[in-house]
Homo-oligomer: A and B are copies of this chain.
Amino acid sequence: MPCRTVLNGNYFKMGIIKEYSLYGYIEHGIQYKDRKERKENMAMKKKPVTGMKDILPKEMEIRDYVIREIKETYKTFGFSGVETPCVEHIDNLFSKQGGENEKLIFKILKRGEKLKLDQAKEEMDLVDGGLRYDLTLPLSRYYANHANDLPSPFKALQMGNVWRADRPQRGRFRQFMQCDIDILGEPTILAEIELITATTTLLGRIGFEKFTIRLNNRKMLKAMAAYSGFEEQDYDSVFITLDKMDKIGLDGVATELAEQGYSKENVDKYLALFEKTDSGIEGVRFLKDTLGDYLETEVAQDLETIMTSIDATKSADFKIVFDPTLVRGMSYYTGPIFEIAMDEFGGSVGGGGRYDEMIGKFTGQNTPACGFSIGFERIVMLLLEKDYQVPASGEKTAYLVEKNMPEDKMLAILQKANEQRRNGTQINIAIMKKNKKFQKEQMEKEGYTVFEEFYVDRMQ
| A residues neighboring B (CB under 8 Å) | 1-4, 27-30, 40-49, 52-57, 60-61, 63-64, 71, 75-78, 80-89, 91-92, 95-97, 106-109, 111, 115, 117, 120, 122-123, 126-129, 131, 141-142, 144-146, 149-153, 155, 161, 163, 165, 175, 186, 188, 190, 193-194, 197, 201, 305, 308-309, 312-313, 315, 331-332, 356-357, 360-366, 393, 396, 398, 401, 407, 410-411, 414-415, 418, 421-422, 424-431, 442-443, 445-446
Contact = CB atoms under 8 A, between A and B. Distances in A.
14 contacts: A40-B95, A49-B88, A56-B150, A75-B393, A76-B425, A78-B396, A86-B86, A86-B161, A106-B108, A109-B127, A190-B401, A190-B410, A190-B429, A201-B418
Nearest to A145: B46
Given A78-B398, A190-B431, 14 more contacts: A1-B96, A4-B356, A28-B365, A41-B95, A45-B89, A46-B144, A48-B84, A55-B82, A76-B426, A78-B428, A86-B163, A109-B127, A111-B165, A186-B431
B430 A153 contact: yes
Given A107-B109, A108-B109, A111-B165, A364 B87 contact: no
Contact of A81 (B61, B332, B407, B443): B61
Contacts of A155: 428
User: A44, A55, A111, A427: which has the most chain B beta carbons within 10 Å?
Assistant: A44
A146 B56 contact: yes
Contacts of A87: 49, 52, 106, 131, 163, 175
Given A91-B44, A109-B108, A77 B427 contact: yes
A240 to B, nearest CB: 16
A89 to B, nearest CB: 5
Given A47-B145, A152-B442, A396-B78, A29 B366 contact: yes
A57 B81 contact: yes
